[in-house]
Amino acid sequence: MVPTREALELARERGYDLIEVAPSANPPVCKLMDYGKYKYELGRKDREAHKKQKVTEVKGIRLRPGTDTHDLMVKQKRMLDFLKQGNKVKVTLIFRSREITHPEIARKQLQTLQESAAEIANVEKAPSFEGRTMTLVLAPKPVVEEKKGERKASDGEPKQQTPKSQPDVSDQTAAPAAEAQAENAETATEPKAEEPAAAE
């Protein structure tokens, strides 16, 4: 514990700044450090953390109830590409004039897209009406879950062992059996000692 004036003089002598670390403590805690270098290190850590973060974008795909099968397949391919890149996809189906009287056609199209992406995406928002549009939102599945699934699948598979690593069970069982037979043969050939007759 030193007075503030003395602490400032000590910091100037050593070429550092006097930084208050814990102002609410009693007495307040200060630290001698190069404040410019400290701020630079904080900024560098923030930049590195920002680089590692992946920003998820929401990609949009527009359809019409009368979209042809070939065009629908093209849209489906683009949607799968967006999901594989880690982006969310919002599929918007727009109704015009009297097309809204047949919502089953739109639901069928959205159901086809949803089923095609079932392996790599989760349904974040089921098909629903928003005014004169019907929307479906798909989000990519987390990578961690896929890795866990792959591990479980690999654990379930039977492990193949090479013949060299497997011990020969027949040899192991045959050796004790042969030793037992030899001992039985020796005991059979040895003459039994005559027991003394009981005295009358």
Mean pLDDT along residues 86-109: 86
Domain that holds residue 33: 4-52
Q: How confident is the model at residue 49 (pLDDT cuts 50, 70, 90)?
A: confident
Total domains present in the chain: 2
Percent of the chain with pLDDT over 90: 2
pLDDT at 187 over 80: no
162: which 2 tokens?
Answer: 């090479």
Q: What is the dihedral of CA 83, 86, 90, 91, to 10 degrees?
A: -10
Write the DSSP assignment of 64-91 as a string of letters: -TT--HHHHHHHHHHHHHHHHTT-EEEE
Are both 64 and 135 inside the same structural domain? yes
Are both 137 and 81 inside the same structural domain? yes
Are both 84 and 9 inside the same structural domain? no
* Residue 149, domain member (yes or no): no
pLDDT value of position 38: 85
d(CA 14, CA 9): 9
d(CA 129, CA 172): 73
* Residue 9, domain member (yes or no): yes
pLDDT at 172 over 60: no
pLDDT at 169 over 80: no
Q: How confident is the model at residue 200 (pLDDT cuts 50, 70, 90)?
A: very low
CATH code, 121? 3.30.110.10
Instruction: Look over the chain and give the mean of its residue pLDDT values, rounded to a whole number.
Output: 76
pLDDT value of position 156: 52
